[in-house]
Amino acid sequence: MGALSGKVAVVTGASRGIGKGTACALGEQGATVYVTARTVSAGGHALPGSIEETVAEVERRGGKAIGVALDLLDDKAIAALFAQVQAEQGRLDILVNNAMSIPDSMTSRAPFWEKPLADEWDIWDTGLRAAFIASHHAAKIMVRQGSGLIACMSGYVGRTYTYDVMFGTTKAATDRMARDMAVELKSYGVAAVSLWQGFTYTERAVENLKTVPGMASQLNAAVGSSPEYPGRVIAALAADAQIMDKSGGSWIVAELAEAYGVTDVDGRMIPSLREERGAPIFGPV
């Protein structure tokens, strides 16, 4: 019996990267995980990873996973996902707003006025707008049951310029969104947090290290984590009986990991980059 046995989770962008790592970590702790993404089967994207592969990995570890194809630019599809969760499970305990479009232009050296506007708005629409819509539907379920956790993936980019104007704008807005949702959810026993994850060795990041000029030289390999590391921390958060004490805050994943005694998959403690890259603005409400 894991710490999240009987709990139900939805993870967006779970075909690869942090989303896949989080789905696996939650499933390993006993949660039933709805694995959502656009790539359904292996080979459906230039990068490795698919819903089917994540579901298989969660189940290999003894968890339960349900795959749902989801385009976060489709509002009706998001609503249908949560209606499905309600109908099949009767509850929802964890929503992880992880997905965000990362177009090639985001990591290019071009200034914002030379980047395609469609690419820039995709970052915003998937990273913030869709996260708000998903949280809207999740909150309806969680408020009725009087418990739940909405976790929004953010990062130091909310304070320190990284790659792209719209990237930083989206993450800064994510922090504020989680904080204000927490204000309105507080009396219902539902928590909302934003999580500052540092460099993560996702499939895309590994590819970028090979292709983006200067990226490899800027990275101290010791600060990078596996894609599963933030998921381990989210699992600890979801199992914390005092989670409401953290609601509304923006939290550095490495610092929460230290507090909960969580390590990366290789046993490492990942360092906080608070001094180098900035401290969160928002504390708990």
Q: At 145, which CATH number?
A: 3.40.50.720
End-to-end CA distance of the chain: 32
What are 110-150's pLDDT values in tens digits?
999 999 999 999 999 999 999 999 999 999 999 999 999 99
Residue 64 lies in a domain: yes
Assigned domain for 244 exists? yes
Q: What is the pLDDT of residue 43?
A: 76
- Give the span between the Cα atoms of 32 and 55, in whole angstroms: 11
Does residue 285 belong to any structural domain of this protein?
no
Domain that holds residue 94: 8-277
Flag whether 124 is in a domain: yes
Residue 174 within a domain: yes
282 within a domain of the structure (yes/no): no
List pLDDT tens digits, range 88-99: 999 999 999 999
CA–CA distance from 6 to each of 59, 64, 118, 193 (Å)?
Answer: 15, 10, 41, 22
* pTM (two decimals): 0.94
Determine the pLDDT at residue 162. 87
Q: How many domains does the chain have?
A: 1
**Considering the domain boundaries, does residue 284 fall inside one?**
no
Q: What is the mean pLDDT of residues 190-205?
A: 89
Question: Of 12-16, 46-50, 272-276, which range is least confident?
Answer: 46-50
Residue type for position 118 = A
- Residue 49 pLDDT: 87
